[in-house]
């Protein structure tokens, strides 16, 4: 698979929380719930409100997307995209190891 080059990002973002069960109006509480979520994906698009990541990509370049509110993003790191690297040497090493293992089995 040879994907069109895109930025690969690691994102940490705040998710909302809900309560389970009914509460009386008089039940007040300090909200200290903080759910930090993490996502990794290729940038599909972004605007002032949203960042759209394609996290899972198939061989037809279809993708499963996350739509993240930019206001909820607390950390953003650009990653090296392994799909854009020439990994032929690494594959040769793996194939050599497999061949040696097969020789031992046979």
Please count the helices (runs of H) and the strands (runs of E) in the chain: 1, 5
- Locate tokens 């990002």: which residue? 9
pLDDT at 1 over 60: no
Give the Cβ contact number of residue 41 at 10 Å. Answer: 24
pTM higher than the cut 0.75: no
| Coil vs helix vs strand at 36 | strand
Pairing assessment for the beta strands 35-46 and 8-15 based on DSSP bridges: antiparallel
Kindly indicate the confidence band of residue 88, based on its pLDDT and cuts at 50, 70 and 90.
low
- Sole residue written with tokens 């198939």: 58
Q: Where are the domains of the chain?
A: 8-105
- Average pLDDT of the residues of the chain: 83
Residue 42 CB neighbour total at 10 angstroms: 22
């Amino acid at each position: 698979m040879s994907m069109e080059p895109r930025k690969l990002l690691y994102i940490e973002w705040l998710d909302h929380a809900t309560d389970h069960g009914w509460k009386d109006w008089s039940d007040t509480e300090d909200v200290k719930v903080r759910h930090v979520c993490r996502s990794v994906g290729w940038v599909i698009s972004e605007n002032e409100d949203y960042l759209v990541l394609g996290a899972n990509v198939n061989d037809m370049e279809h993708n499963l997307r996350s739509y993240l509110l930019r206001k909820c993003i607390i950390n953003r790191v650009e990653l090296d995209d392994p799909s854009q690297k020439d990994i032929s040497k690494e594959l040769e090493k793996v194939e050599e190891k497999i061949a040696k293992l097969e020789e031992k089995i046979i």
